[in-house]
Structure 1
Amino acid sequence: MRWDSLYVAGVGTWLPEPLPVAAAVIEGKVDEARVEELAYKSVLVADELSPPEMAVRAADVAIGRAGIPRDEYSVVLHNTSWYQGHPMWPSGSYVGRHSVGAHVPCFEIQQRCNGALGSIELAGAHLASGISTGSAALLTTGDRFVAPAIDRWHCHPQSAVADGGTAAVLSAVGGFARVVATSTAVDNTLEQVNRGLRPFSELPPDPAEPFEYTSRYREYVAGPGGGDAAEQLKKVLITACETVLSDAGIGIDDVAVLVIPAVGAGRLSRVLGVPVERTSWDFAASTGHLASGGDQIAGFANLLETGSVSPGDHVMLFGGGGGYTCTAAVLQINEVPDW
């Protein structure tokens, strides 16, 4: 879809100190073979703050940078992948309350690693619908992966999951970057990649037993109908990419930087036909996988903060998450903010 009046007005992060992978090896958290497979330099590991608190801190940065009055915010979409600190608790409402106030509808989105990018379309549609008189939307992510309930180094087949909060402010009025187009491609048969062949359970997992879905993925791929999963996934990725480029009216060579998830050692760049040097992989390799779409917001913020883009540049944010959904967004830089 091509957007006429959707802008990025602010981005912000709250990221803990990175743990070098060499230190993680010495501490016995991961072995050298796994480190080589992941191709990370470090992974963000927090020893304080809940995920919603991280999201609020990131939101404070993004809101301050956007400079939009809080009464102009019409929706908050908080994206999560893991436990938020309390069971059956609306973490999105906490984020909204402590960032833009008590007046704004707040929703928690659990579309896993595609949450934040998918939320661009949801927020854009909300702002264009006239449901609210507000002109701005706040998108946040927040996750913290604490042992023994989850082993960050081995729970995902192609990544180590990282802690942190990110935020972006979208505006229907103006901003430093314009959302030119977005596209979401879907194949819901791939939800079973995360479920495997196991029956549904009646209770949550025992937190003393580390959660992982690598074995579920392997079960599905080895089972009936699972052998085509890799090709199905590739089709979804390529469809999202080709559609957003067509809607934006540009080619892949016109994309100055491709902001990709911190998974698969950056191999997504090859699937999309972009040299890894033109992607955000170098930054992603220093953070680990900020699930819920944090990779893309943090990666975009890093481009701006390091002066790695110029006015007129097209930047593609590219994400995907269990389900399987994949969202691509083409942005054009109007100006590089002085942050």
Structure 2
Amino acid sequence: MRPLVLSAATWVPSGRETVDEMLVAGRLAVDDTQGLALTEVPVADRAAPDMAVLAGRRALEASGVDPGRVGLVAHAWTYHQGHDFWSPAHYVARHVGAHAAFPVGVQQLSNGGAAALGMAVRQLIASPETDAALVTTADRFAWPGFDRWAADYGVVYGDAGTAAVLHRRDDVRPSGALLLKSLAFATDASFEDMYRGRDAFSPAPLARDGGIDVRRPKKAYLEIHGGIERFRKAATGCVDEVLRRALHEADVDPADPRLVHVLLPRLSDSTLDLMYRPVVGSLLKADVLDLREASGHLGAGDLLANLAHLTSPGVLHPGERAVVLGGGGGFTWSCAVVEGL
């Protein structure tokens, strides 16, 4: 059974911060802008779970699925969801109208949306009484707790909610939907310390500095391990593995002319060149779609946002295939192969 992605949607706030504004304000240096491949990022004035609700409602409406028939709500995020000790997944389920669904929170950093998608697929396969599942993500990288422009190397973080509605029936092919032909994962947990570095465990959120600084542990990791080469080799190996496995499970040849698009995480050139582009360039001839310019990295939401783009009119025609790659710290990489309906 291959589930359908009946619909996928994003909810993107209207607020913006631009590269030019950050240069004038002194929050970016000219050298920092090299390879970012973006001009602006969306900035929200509302809580992250509310953006997930808005994206979820949009996806449910487009799918035609009654929210009351949704059996699973899987919500993923990377950063603060507005309260310190609560379940944002239950909030999303309540406010989209999926009151009886099983809500579950998924935290796998930037691969969270893909992990939540995988959880929904497994639920649909394993539970015959579950006809539909809703997957959502949302992140708001608000200052001063998170400096979206300087908290990380080569990544600028944008705010948005994303959502997808999955259905277990693959014997119907509604126009605009996607057939999820495969979804594969590859993990190398030996690199989990890249996000810890030398830092000791803290007793409470943000107890160390009052804000997120991803650069400090990454810098310590590079010092401890003598550079990035070991990670580069492992990362490209995992991306190669997950891409080949997804294509094999989808029964899609890398040279298939119906494979027309490849979508990568919305990261900087340096990060994409480190682990994704060498593999994709060696295996696939399909066009690589670049969707970073006005979004930046959407935390857990890149993969679902890229799926939403594929459901836009005229992007993926019936019978055409696309590969959507993802990944997140820890590290786990993901790859979905979809077909237009």
Residues 168 and 303 of structure 1: CA distance in aligned 2, closer, same or farther (over 3 Å):
same
**Aligned-pair distance for 1:276?**
10
Which has the higher mean CA deviation after the structures are superposed, 22-31 or 180-189?
22-31
* 8 Å CA contact 2:184, 2:245 repeated in 1: yes
Letter in 2 for 1:319: G
Identity of aligned residues (%): 27
Letter in 1 for 2:140: R
Asked if 1:127 is matched to 2:124, the reply is yes
Q: How many pairs are equivalent?
A: 327
Residue 217 of structure 1 corresponds to which residue in structure 2?
218
* 8 Å CA contact 1:269, 1:275 repeated in 2: no
Residue 313 of structure 1 corresponds to which residue in structure 2?
320
Which has the higher mean CA deviation after the structures are superposed, 166-175 or 76-85?
166-175
Q: SS of the residue aligned with 1:252?
A: coil
Residue 86 of structure 2 corresponds to which residue in structure 1?
89
Residue 337 of structure 1 corresponds to which residue in structure 2?
none
When normalised by structure 2's length, the TM-score is 0.90
Deviations 1:155-174 (A, max 9, x none): 12121111010000011024
Q: SS of the residue aligned with 1:204?
A: coil
Which structure has more helix as a fraction of its residues?
A: 1
Q: SS of the residue aligned with 1:38?
A: coil
Asked if 1:61 is matched to 2:61, the reply is no
Letter in 2 for 1:103: A
Matches within 5 A, 1:129-168: 129-130=126-127, 133-168=129-164
* Equivalent position to 1:236, from 232, 235, 238: 238
Residues 208 and 220 of structure 1: CA distance in aligned 2, closer, same or farther (over 3 Å):
closer
- Once residues 19 and 304 of structure 1 are traced to their aligned partners in structure 2, the CA distance between those partners, rounded to angstroms, is 27
Which has the higher mean CA deviation after the structures are superposed, 317-326 or 214-223?
214-223
Which has the higher mean CA deviation after the structures are superposed, 115-124 or 14-23?
14-23
**Aligned-pair distance for 1:104?**
0.9
Residue 26 of structure 2 corresponds to which residue in structure 1?
28
Residue 187 of structure 1 corresponds to which residue in structure 2?
188
Deviations 1:139-193 (A, max 9, x none): 0001101111111112121211110100000110245211111110000111111
**Structure 1 runs (4+) greater than 4 angstroms displaced:** 224-227, 274-277
Deviations 1:259-278 (A, max 9, x none): 21111325333332178982
- RMSD (CA atoms): 2.0
* 8 Å CA contact 2:52, 2:162 repeated in 1: yes
Q: SS of the residue aligned with 1:279?
A: strand
Q: SS of the residue aligned with 1:284?
A: coil
**Aligned-pair distance for 1:216?**
0.9
* Equivalent position to 1:331, from 327, 331, 338: 338
Which has the higher mean CA deviation after the structures are superposed, 88-97 or 188-197?
188-197
* 8 Å CA contact 2:78, 2:108 repeated in 1: yes
Q: SS of the residue aligned with 2:294?
A: helix
Deviations 1:7-50 (A, max 9, x none): 1001111102343322232233322211123121221112x210
Gaps of 5+ in 1: 335-339
Residues 270 and 24 of structure 1: CA distance in aligned 2, closer, same or farther (over 3 Å):
same
- Once residues 29 and 225 of structure 1 are traced to their aligned partners in structure 2, the CA distance between those partners, rounded to angstroms, is 29
- Once residues 54 and 242 of structure 2 are traced to their aligned partners in structure 1, the CA distance between those partners, rounded to angstroms, is 31
Residue 308 of structure 2 corresponds to which residue in structure 1?
301
Residue 278 of structure 2 corresponds to which residue in structure 1?
270
- Once residues 160 and 285 of structure 2 are traced to their aligned partners in structure 1, the CA distance between those partners, rounded to angstroms, is 24
Which has the higher mean CA deviation after the structures are superposed, 61-70 or 259-268?
259-268
**Aligned-pair distance for 1:125?**
0.9
**Aligned-pair distance for 1:251?**
2.9
* 8 Å CA contact 2:202, 2:208 repeated in 1: no
* 8 Å CA contact 1:148, 1:207 repeated in 2: no
- Once residues 253 and 301 of structure 1 are traced to their aligned partners in structure 2, the CA distance between those partners, rounded to angstroms, is 25
Deviations 1:168-224 (A, max 9, x none): 001102452111111100001111111112221222224973311122112112214
Residues 221 and 252 of structure 1: CA distance in aligned 2, closer, same or farther (over 3 Å):
farther
Which has the higher mean CA deviation after the structures are superposed, 143-152 or 199-208?
199-208
Q: SS of the residue aligned with 2:185?
A: strand
Deviations 1:271-297 (A, max 9, x none): 32178982231x2222000011x1122
* 8 Å CA contact 2:266, 2:298 repeated in 1: yes
